Each structure stands twice: as C-alpha cells, then as structure tokens.
Structure 1
Amino acid sequence: MPIYVYWGEDDFAIAKAVTTLRDRVLDPLWMSFNYTTFSPEDSDAAIQALNQVMTPTFGAGGRLVWLMNTNLLQNCPENVMAELSRTLSVIPENSCLLLTSRNKPDERLKSTKLFKQFATEFREFPLIPPWKTELLIQAVNQAAQTVGVKLTPKAAELVAEAVGNDTRLLYNEIEKLRLYAEDSDRPIQEDTVIRLVRNTTQNSLQLAAAIRVGDTAKALTILADLINAAEPELRIVATLIGQFRTWLWVKLMVESGERNPQAIAQAAEIGNPKRIYFLQQEVQSLSVAQLISCLPLLLELEVTLKQSRPEIAILQNKIIELCQVCRRI
C-alpha cells in the first residue's frame, strides 16, 4: 500500500526522505493540485487527510497527502480509528499517505498496528548517540558518497568529530568540501577538513576532558567558546552525558577485574576495542563513585534545559559542580 510512516528525532534526515518521496510521486507541473499537507493544528486533520488521499489525482503524476507531526501513533480517537480501518487498505495506487512524527509509535495502539500492517515503509530516523564514534564515521562516509565527495579515513574521522550527530550540519560541511574540491578525483585530506570544517563536538569532548580533571577555569572557557559559536546547549549536554557514560562503563569493568578490551568495549558500546586503553588512562584518577555522581547532575541539567529557557548561568553553575565532584579525592 502507498503509505509511508517516518518518525524520529533526526528532523533533517526526515525532511530529506520527504523530499525524495515527494519528487518521486508528484509531477512538478501538477504539484499544486496533488500535494496537500496537514499540520497538527488543523481541525480534524486525520479525517481530512484520509478524504484527500482518496480523491482522484489531477493531470499527470500521483497524489501526496502529508500528515505533519501527527500523534495518530500515540493517541488515536475511536472515530479516526474507524476511518483508518475503512480507508488504509483501499488507498489508490497513485496516491500516497505520509505520516511524520518526532515521537516513537506506541506499539500497543491499534492504529500503530494497522499502519505497520499496510505501510510500504515504516521507518525510524534516530539521532546517532554522540559517543558512538564508529556510527558517526559511517554516517559521514555515507553522506560523502551521496554528495559525491571522497574522504580519506582520517578526514572522515575528523568530520565526524566536528559535526557529531547533527545531520544538517554534516551535509552542509560535506557540500562545502565538495565545492572546495570541485571536480578533483583525489580524496580530501585531513588538513583540508581542519581548515574548512567548524569543529564543535570535539570542543564538547574537550569540555568533558576539562571537567574530568576538575579544571574549572578551562571548562568555563571552553563552554563560553561553544556558546559563542552558537552550539546548542542540549547538544553540549548530550555529548557530556555520552562521554561520562562511557567513562563509567569502562571504570566499572576495570574495577570488576575485567582485562579483555573486547569485553569492555562491548559493555561500553564502543566499536573499536583499541580505544579502551586510552579510556582506561583517562579514568585512572577518578573513582566509580565520582563518575556515578556526575551522571545525575548531567541528567538534571538536561531536564532543566528542556523545561526552561536555556541560560548560560545554568550551564556554568552545573559545570562548576561537575568540576568539584571530579576534583575530590
């Protein structure tokens, strides 16, 4: 059935998928007649969308009806559920119904089960955790291949460090590298990446390193640089949480007597066991109790930033607290 469900936190990746679907389904000359979007604020958006998707197309191409940021997979009224049951199985082949949402579908709902039964594509677009370096590098290489850029392995690693899990920034930086390289067949080297790609995630990791050794002055300076570079506060906190989580797992495994790098890497969700040696050195001066104490502070900071207007003072105060925890003997 021509039904597509896209969900997840990677808004840019979802937007690219929607654009690809739209270009495939619609004839540009007839787009204004056959392309309809419904926002969550629209009254009876779901019912209107179902009626629209059953309407015959005008002219060439197909029809695309998009329910944007819908909550049908989290909360579906009975009257809408009844209409879904009557409609989904009989949508014309040249019409497409698209649903997008940031929230995870509730697998218990009848509406979710119904969409999973009839959907041509039921796809998640998650953000890669900032600490999963190998997945970030894979995303860089995939973006480079899509855009038509060749990167050396070290250059791809540097791009991953710079952009983290920001897909929009990744494609912007890859496009910048493509324009710089023009039609050259030579892979882009690491020195070019250092000159052209703005590094923010690596600075967040440097912030984590400063906190780890209790260097409050350096940590606050790095934080100020990140804020001045317009780095989102929640992304900074996400990187810190991922780094401290990794350090805690490594420390717990070492304290338990585990010496096998592969086993430690598996527990800490680290793809490259060779990183374990360096991580062990980093956490050598910290206790398990210190690392455990840091995570609630970071999670509290994340919740505070999500519930209120981000303020530099909130971040500064929490960074100072974290440095004090790590400085204790």
Structure 2
Amino acid sequence: MPIYVYWGEDDFALEKAVVSLRSRVLDPQWTSFNYTLFLPDLADGVIQGLNQAMTPSFGAGGRLVWLMNTAVCQHCPENVLNELIRTLPVIPDNSFLLLTSPNKPDERLKSTKILKQFATEFREFPLIPPWKTELLVQAVNQAAESAGLKLTPKIAELLAESVGNDTRSLDSEIEKLRLYAGGNYHLLDINTVSQLVRNTTQNSLQLAAAIRTGDVAKALTTLNDLINASEPGLRIVATLIGQFRTWLWVKIMMESGERNPQAIAKASEVNNPKRIYFLQQEIKFLSVQQLISTLPILLELEVSLKQGYSDISTLQTKVVELCQVCRVT
C-alpha cells in the first residue's frame, strides 16, 4: 500500500519530490495508461482517485494516482472518510497513491490519522524563515552538494543572501554556477559569483535593518524594491515579525544580565550562538520598550493586509511608523 502525503509552502521542493516519485513509479512507455491526476475542483475527485488506485497497472511499471491540492486532511466528509478506511489498507503494492496540499494536515481529523497510519511517506516541505540565515546557508550547501558543486563558505553565504528561501531560484543559480565552472571550481571566486548570481535581496531582512536604524528613506527605498520584485506583503511582514521578535528576546536577555551566548540563543531561538554577538551589536542603541512597541504595529500591518487593504500604501505607512519608533532620540 504505497501511499505518499506531501504538504508545505515550498512548492518547488514539493514539485521535485513529485517528479522523483513519478520517475520511480512509472514506465515511460506506459505512463498514459498508469498515471492519473485529479484536480481539487473535481467534486468527487478523492473517491474517484481511491477507486483508480485500486485498479491494477497495465504493462510495465506501476500505477500513480495523484490527488493534487486535496483538502482531505483539512476537511473530510463522512462518505470520503469511509472510502479512505475501506480502501487504504488494500491498495495493491504496485499502485501508488499521492496526496499533496499546501496546508498542514489537521492532526485531529480521522482522515489524517488513517493516512498517517498507512502512509509510506508523510512529509512536509516547509519554507525556511528568511531570518534564519544559518539554515539558508545549510540549504545552499546541500543543494550545491547534490549538484556536485563545491562552494566556499563565503560563496554559500552570498548565495543564501541573494536567493533567500526561494528554492526555485536557488536551483537555477546552482545550475548556472555548475555550468560556468565545468568542474573547475577554482573559477568560482566571490567576485565572479557576485556577478553571475541574480541578486534578489533587496530583501525583508535589509528592510528590517533600515527600520532598526530609523532610516526612513532607505527603508522606503528597500520596500519599493521588494514590491517591484513582487515579494508578497504578508511574507515581508512575517520576516519583520520574526526579526523584531528575535531582537526583542536578545535585548530582554541582555537587560536581565544574561551573558551566556548559548542561553541567549536558546531563549531567542537562534540556532547559532555565534550570531548572538552580532545581534547584540545591532540593537545596542535600542531599548526594550522600543522593540516592544514595534510588535503592535506589525500586528496591525498583518491584520490590515489579511483584510485586503492596499499592500503598498499600508506597508509604506507602517514602515514609517516603525522607523519613528526605532529612531534614536
């Protein structure tokens, strides 16, 4: 009963996993007979998919039934649940059922529980938070290693800064560097890579840094660059909230007299304690009260965007407010 459940916001990584699964399961000459995709707008798509999964494959290879963007792990009608209970335990070994969704499965639902019980793979594809730079660098190194590319630590950091958590862009840039190097890794020095890699990082962390220093002009310029690069407003806000919460926790720990970087890193959810020194330097001119005052503004901004207010004007207004709060008096 080969059952696969994939979910998460990193749609590119999820797509790659689906392609990998298809290549393992299907024989290219029999794909048209053994591969079926059910879109979420089909009323009885889940039940049709389960029935299709019970059909033996034709010719060589296995059968793959894909329920794309299914909501069965967020909302499952009784008739669909009953069909899951009846079908999942008896799916043939050469028939593969794949369910994908951008949303995390609701662990409380019976449908989620039975899928977890029978799933061969129950896997999340999360986006790395843009402010977690260590994880971004780690992802760059993993992608480079998979492509057979050797990167220096400085180049890995440059790539992480340039593409952020956009795994699609990372894959493209890694492939570009691999083709350019052609196996001669000494060709990839920091100056060459900085010219080859498309820099998409007028990023939200740079916006946070401009706000932290109270530099209205720089903050608005960076925000404009982000908007022109089609960065979603809610993603910008998520990064700002994460960064300001980290700064606040570090400042609170400093004010409490804590000097142990490991303890501060644990409290502020920073993976690398070596970063604590740099975070402390970033906020040495800000007070705890200033950092606390940024959070209600960020919350108002998030709520406004979710209610459909104009991204540009709302972001601009709140960015100016945040700069005023952080301005050193």
**Fold-level match, TM-score > 0.5?**
yes
Q: Call closer, same or farther: CA 1:303–1:25 in 2, change over 3 Å.
A: farther
Is the deviation greater in 17-26 or in 183-192?
183-192
Q: Call closer, same or farther: CA 1:155–1:311 in 2, change over 3 Å.
A: same
Percent sequence identity over aligned pairs: 75
Distance of 1:181 and 1:133 partners within structure 2: 26
- Deviation readout 1:99-157 (Å, 9 max, x if unpaired): 01111111111111111111000011111111222111111111111222211111111
Q: Which residue of 2 aligns with 1:112?
A: 112
Q: Which residue of 1 aligns with 2:283?
A: 283
1:23-62 equivalence runs, <5 A: 23-62=23-62
What is the TM-score of this pair, normalised by structure 1? 0.94
Distance of 1:310 and 1:33 partners within structure 2: 48
Q: Which residue of 1 aligns with 2:195?
A: 195
**AA matched with 2:17:** A
What is the Cα-based RMSD across aligned positions, in Å?
Answer: 1.7
Q: Call closer, same or farther: CA 1:235–1:177 in 2, change over 3 Å.
A: farther
Is the deviation greater in 319-328 or in 7-16?
319-328
How far off is 1:187 after superposition? Answer: 7.2
Is the deviation greater in 185-194 or in 62-71?
185-194
Is the deviation greater in 76-85 or in 187-196?
187-196
Is the deviation greater in 269-278 or in 183-192?
183-192
How far off is 1:322 after superposition? Answer: 0.7
Judge conservation of contact 1:137–1:156 (CA < 8 Å) in 2.
yes
1:3-152 equivalence runs, <5 A: 3-152=3-152
Q: What SS is found at the alignment partner of 1:186?
A: helix
Q: Call closer, same or farther: CA 1:123–1:42 in 2, change over 3 Å.
A: same
Query: Is it true that 1:224 corresponds to 2:240 in the alignment?
Result: no
Query: Is it true that 1:164 corresponds to 2:174 in the alignment?
Result: no
Distance of 1:19 and 1:187 partners within structure 2: 32
Judge conservation of contact 1:150–1:188 (CA < 8 Å) in 2.
no
Q: What SS is found at the alignment partner of 2:186?
A: coil
Judge conservation of contact 1:66–1:99 (CA < 8 Å) in 2.
yes
- Deviation readout 1:244-293 (Å, 9 max, x if unpaired): 12111110110111111111111112222222122112111111121122
Distance of 2:203 and 2:79 partners within structure 1: 51
Distance of 2:108 and 2:203 partners within structure 1: 42
* Count of residues paired in the alignment: 329
1:259-298 equivalence runs, <5 A: 259-298=259-298
Q: Which residue of 1 aligns with 2:299?
A: 299
Distance of 1:154 and 1:249 partners within structure 2: 28
How far off is 1:318 after superposition? Answer: 1.3
Judge conservation of contact 1:8–1:101 (CA < 8 Å) in 2.
yes
Q: What SS is found at the alignment partner of 1:47?
A: helix
Query: Is it true that 1:184 corresponds to 2:184 in the alignment?
Result: yes
Q: Which residue of 2 aligns with 1:244?
A: 244
Judge conservation of contact 1:151–1:189 (CA < 8 Å) in 2.
no
Q: Call closer, same or farther: CA 1:299–1:179 in 2, change over 3 Å.
A: farther
Q: Call closer, same or farther: CA 1:248–1:23 in 2, change over 3 Å.
A: same
Q: Which residue of 1 aligns with 2:234?
A: 234
**AA matched with 1:210:** A
How far off is 1:225 after superposition? Answer: 2.4
Distance of 1:2 and 1:33 partners within structure 2: 19
Distance of 2:309 and 2:191 partners within structure 1: 38
Q: Which residue of 2 aligns with 1:317?
A: 317
